[in-house]
Amino acid sequence: MIKKIISNYHAISLVFIMLLVASCAKDDSTGPGSEERDKYVGSWTCKETPAGQPSSTFTINIIKSGSSDTLLVQNFNQLGNSTQAIWLVADVSITIPNQTITAVEVIGTGFYSNDKLELNYSADSDQLTAVCTR
């Protein structure tokens, strides 16, 4: 009888230790309950440089929309806070599908690295690069 009680005590102790270790594990921002696109959401300061022109700095705001790969970007290409560009994301890759925003046709690509967005896109006939940071 005492042997069984000690055995149960060890089993309960082992379960408790396993739960304690699991609760101390590093929180992964892409773990259960989060989405891969969450790292993009929020306000970003963008330094946009048209080819052969001086750069300008402005703020964009990124929000989630629809399916798990879709984002809406307010003030993309400095087209105004009331405008929204659609971005599609897959892990660290960004696709800016061909779309018209306030009569400006935009299309491009980019990537996410070290909490920074690096973009290459065209707006009408202008070729632009942008680096966005938090």
Domain boundaries, the chain: 36-133
Confidence of residue 23 (pLDDT cuts 50, 70, 90): very low
pLDDT value at 101 more than 50: yes
| pLDDT confidence tier of residue 44, bands split at 50, 70 and 90 | very high
Rounded to an integer, the average pLDDT of 54-67 is: 97
- Alpha-helix runs per DSSP H in 24-129: none
Phi first, then psi: what are they for 37, rounded to 5°? -75, -10
Backbone dihedral angles phi then psi of residue 40, each to the nearest 5 degrees: -90, -25
Q: Which helix (H) or strand (E) holds 4?
A: helix 2-23
CA distance 37 to 46: 18
Q: Is the pLDDT of residue 24 over 80?
A: no
Measured in whole angstroms, the distance separating CA 62 from the mean position of its chain's CA atoms is 8
Cα dihedral 39, 90, 126, 133 in deg (nearest 10): 20
Q: Which CATH architecture has domain 36-133?
A: Beta Barrel (2.40)
C-beta separation of 71 from 37 below 8 A: yes
Three-state DSSP state, 39: helix
Say if CB 96 and CB 108 are below 8 A apart.
yes
> What tokens does 6 get?
């000690």
pLDDT confidence tier of residue 74, bands split at 50, 70 and 90 = very high
